[in-house]
């Protein structure tokens, strides 16, 4: 009887000792490499965009891991492949559009370069007088026939420089030209001056819209959004699409 008890106690002791050794888990080294391929891809700075090869690799993995009793439906698989093809096609189309925009922008700038040295009509009442003197031209837009249009020439501070009248009996767009002289007949200094036009419409005095001609000095390439940019003498820049008209090739910078 004692022999059996002794053997039983020994067996229990052996069992506890074995369980204690089994419960001991050896921790992984702190510098152990991760086996996650996604983490490895991120750490290596790989491209995160899925290519067509990646898509078919994932599709093959999906098919290999599917439940044999519930396989992937053919329609679902075809829909996935069609979706990827659509996205891939849109991406390629976007690249082609970007290239087309670049070509069109360059072509537009090349065509706009023919305007260098010319006069263009811009939607502004301000014109520039250069160092060599002279005035500039403009256009007054009238809603109807006006017997007489009064033009005020003002400097950048709003001071009156000169005033004169033009015939507006034909209505529409009326050409205006200023010789660059003040009210005393003396040449004005170089700088920017503006036209202020008024006329009687339906018996009431109203301000009229004015556009002026500017001298194109150079052309900038711009971007696909802005297009070609025209650089104007003394007046900054303007988009080619904002130009209202182009004057004759002869110089109109100076009027005598």
DSSP-assigned letters across all residues of 213-225: EEEEEEEEEEETT
Closest CA to 97 of 224, 255, 228: 224
Report pTM.
0.57
pLDDT score at 256:
36
Q: Which two tokens stand for residue 147?
A: 């017997």
| Positions of the chain with pLDDT lower than 50, given as ranges | 1-45, 251-256
Residue by residue, DSSP assigns 130-197 as BTTB--EEEEEEESS-EEEEEEEEE-TT--EEEEEEEEETT-EEEEEEE-SB-TTSPBPPSEEEEEEE
pLDDT score at 11:
44
Q: Which two tokens stand for residue 75?
A: 């329609």
Q: Torsions phi, psi of 232, nearest 5?
A: -105, 145
Q: Which CATH number fits domain 115-246: 1.10.8.10, 2.60.40.4070, 3.40.50.2000, 1.20.90.10?
A: 2.60.40.4070
pLDDT score at 188:
93
């Amino acid at each position: 009887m004692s022999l059996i008890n002794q053997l039983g106690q020994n067996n229990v002791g052996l069992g506890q000792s074995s369980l204690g050794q089994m419960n001991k888990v050896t921790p992984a080294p702190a510098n152990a490499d991760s086996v996650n391929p996604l983490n490895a891809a991120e750490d290596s700075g790989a491209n995160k965009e899925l290519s067509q090869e990646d898509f078919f690799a994932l599709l093959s993995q999906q098919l290999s891991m599917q439940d044999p009793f519930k396989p992937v439906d053919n329609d679902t698989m075809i829909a996935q492949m069609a979706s990827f093809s659509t996205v891939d096609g849109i991406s390629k189309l976007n690249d082609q559009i970007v290239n087309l925009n670049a070509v069109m922008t360059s072509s537009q700038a090349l065509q706009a370069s023919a305007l260098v040295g010319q006069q263009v009509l811009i939607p502004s009442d301000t014109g520039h007088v250069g160092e060599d003197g002279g005035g500039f031209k403009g256009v007054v837009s009238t809603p109807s026939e006006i017997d007489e249009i009064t033009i005020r020439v003002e400097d950048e501070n709003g001071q009156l420089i000169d005033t004169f009248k033009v015939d507006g009996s034909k209505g529409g767009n009326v050409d205006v030209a200023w010789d660059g002289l003040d009210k005393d007949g003396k040449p004005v200094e170089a700088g920017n001056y503006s036209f202020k036009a008024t006329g009687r419409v339906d018996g009431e005095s109203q301000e009229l819209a004015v556009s002026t001609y500017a001298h194109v000095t150079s052309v900038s390439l711009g971007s696909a959004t802005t297009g070609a940019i025209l650089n104007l003498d003394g007046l900054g820049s303007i988009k080619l699409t904002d130009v209202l008209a182009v004057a004759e090739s002869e110089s109109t910078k100076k009027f005598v």
